[in-house]
Every structure is written in structure tokens, then in C-alpha cells.
Structure 1
């Protein structure tokens, strides 16, 4: 429905931001990891969104990357995990930490999230273990392979290169390489 929202931050709360675009203020629930990257309340930002529809209305959830949105969607597809619980998990554990927890069946890392118990953490691991693509399992198209090869020739590891391509549009070799290098040089 609403893929992303780009505009000025007009308000920041504990778990949300209000972004004004075209005279409309959108209240968007965000994980702490996203909130911590939004430092200035007058800056223009772009948040990728997910709109959760329920009987009494709808709520927008926002994330800095498309990868975070995809993880959020996978989390809310798990039985017993709603949007608030998914945001809690993404606020407590980094994306890399989340992948590691799933890969290593580390339910304790997920249990650190407020509102997530042992059974829910174990269910998340069980249901997502086969649904997540880990860096060493990634299937790359020809253009993405070219970018990875270029990064390898510059001395980066394959895992670093693949991770740098997360969320990067690889339809243009030169721009994809520039974007990946920007991420790697941070």
C-alpha cells in the first residue's frame, strides 16, 4: 500500500516519529534501532513502511532499510507474534544478531526482547530457520555477482560483499558498486 514515506521529521517519541509530507503528518511506529539513526527533527528522511490494518484502524511501521521491513513481515507471520512484538525484537537485537540467533537457534537472544517468552522465541526460530536467507546461502543474479567480484578484487570478503548488497538496487553495476562501497566504508 504505502511502500515508503519521505519527508521532514516534525516530532519524535519513545517509539515513533511523525513525518510531514505534502502537509500530512504520518505517525509511524519505529524500532529503537531506527529511532537512534534519526538525530535531527528537521531533517528529511525516507522510511520504508508496513501498514498494519485491523478492525479499529491502521498503523504504519517504519524502517530504514527494506531488509528490516522484510524481517518485520516474516516475524508477524509467525503465530503469536504481532507488530508490537516484532518491533520489540527489532528494537532489542540488531539485524545481524537476529540472523545469528536464528542460524544458531539462540532463543535466549530473542527472549531479551520485552514481551517475548521462551516459547515464542523458540517458535520464531523454528518457523523462520528455513525462511531466512543467510549470507553464505544467498543466490545472486549475474549483475550482483559482478558487484561481489569487484568487491572481492578490492580485498573485501564474500560475506562482507554480500552483506553490503542488502537493499542495494543492482540494476546498474556502477551505482550498485558505489552504494556497496559506501556501506563498507562506514
Structure 2
């Protein structure tokens, strides 16, 4: 089991990154809420990981904190929720926002996420309520708990901001027309890729 990586951040293409650890490059998929907190390229970073082995692939999912990884692990234990859908959920909202949805039985917000139908949302609300209570109690005293405080300063804007944003949304399961419309609506001069992705996701919730 690979539970933690500490190395140099070589590539960032939401939602995937490449980390070099002792000469080996690890491809890691991250929810966008964690992706936003990464340092700039070629700097050292620490990522907590969850390793998934399938018949056709071996996949690493990464998170900035252990609490975020713990929430991901609880999500994939929910009936009908696999790693890809869990990644989409944690990309569409922060962990704190997800907790709020559960506490308020907010089905309307959950079903706006790609791949989350009404039945899946209902299962999430029912099955996650007690699990989240235990997780929140376990994280008491943690400096971060479920509050994500972004310290990452985005790099200068590239000409491919719109393309990067659309690509990230497509990877998360949004339809091409839906992704293009949301990105176009959120785009403004000078905006960087990550801010554009955030704005586009927010507009769809």
C-alpha cells in the first residue's frame, strides 16, 4: 500500500499530477480541492495517497490532508460510489461543503454533480451521516480539520486556460457542451486555469 509521497512536483494537469520520488515518477489523480493547494512546479510537496488495484489498472489518488483522504475512503464505501465518482464529488465541493450538504439533507446540491442521481444522493446522505460524525470527532484538534485554506499562488496565465479548464471538467465527468458553456460563462481576461475551473464548477452547483 502506498500511503504517502514526498517528492518534487514535475507536472500539473488537473486533475492529475506527476511527482518524482527518488527517481521514480508517480502519476496521481487528485480532487480539485486538493489540486488547488499544490505548490508551484519543481517544488517539494507531500501528498497522502489511496492506492487502488483493478484488473486493468493500478491507480493512485492523492490528497493534501489525511482528513480529506479519510473522507474519500468513506465515500467509496458507499453503495454505488467508486473512486472516480468520489473524486468528482470532492472536486465539485470542498469537504466542508459536503459535510454541510449531509447535515442539511441537501439532495438538490448533490444531484448537480455529474454521476450523482437522486438515489445515489439519498444513499450518500443516509450512509454518510453517522460516518461523518465519527470522522469529525476523530479530527477534533486537527489544525485543518475540514477547512481548506488555499495558500497556493497560481502561476501566470497561459493561453490555454480555457482548454485546461474544459479538459479538467471533462475528466470529472461533465458533458462537453456543459463544460464548454460553464467555462465560457466564467471566463474573463487575466483569469488563470485553476480560478477558471473553480468559477465554472461553482456556476453549475
| Superposition TM-score tier, normalisation by shorter sequence | 0.7 to 0.9
Q: Deviations over 1:5-41 (max 9, x none)?
A: 0111111112110000111000000011111112411
How far apart are the structure 2 equivalents of 1:25 and 1:108? Answer: 40
CA contact (8 A) 2:78 2:127 kept: yes
| Aligned length in residues | 147
Alignment of 1:4 onto 2:16: no
1-side partners of 2:134 and 2:99: how far apart?
A: 7
Distance 1:98 1:163 in 2: 18
Cα distance in 1 between the residues matched to 2:13 and 2:35: 9
Structure 1: state its 5+ residue gaps. 145-161, 168-182
Tell me by how many angstroms 1:109 deviates.
2.2
Query: Does the aligned pair in 1 maintain the 2:52–2:58 contact within 8 Å?
Result: yes
Distance (whole Å) between structure 1 residues aligned to residue 144 and residue 95 of structure 2: 14
Q: Closer, same or farther in 2 for the Cα pair 1:139/1:14, shift >3 Å?
A: closer
- Please say if 1:99 is aligned against 2:99: yes
After TM superposition, list the pairs within 5 Å mapping 1:153-168 onto structure 2: 162=141, 164=143, 166=145
RMSD of aligned alpha carbons: 2.2
- Select the structure with the greater relative contact order (CA < 8 A; seq sep ≥ 6): 2
SS of equivalent to 1:108: helix
Q: Which residue of structure 1 lines up, in the alignment, with residue 137 of structure 2? A: 138
Inter-partner Cα distance in structure 2 for 1:124 and 1:116: 10
Q: Distance in 2 between matches of 1:105 and 1:138?
A: 20
Give the TM-score, by structure 1 length.
0.72
Alignment gaps of 5+ in structure 2: 150-205
Structure 2 residue 18 is the aligned partner of structure 1 residue 18: yes
2:31, 2:119 → 1: CA distance?
A: 22
Distance 1:139 1:76, change over 3 A: closer
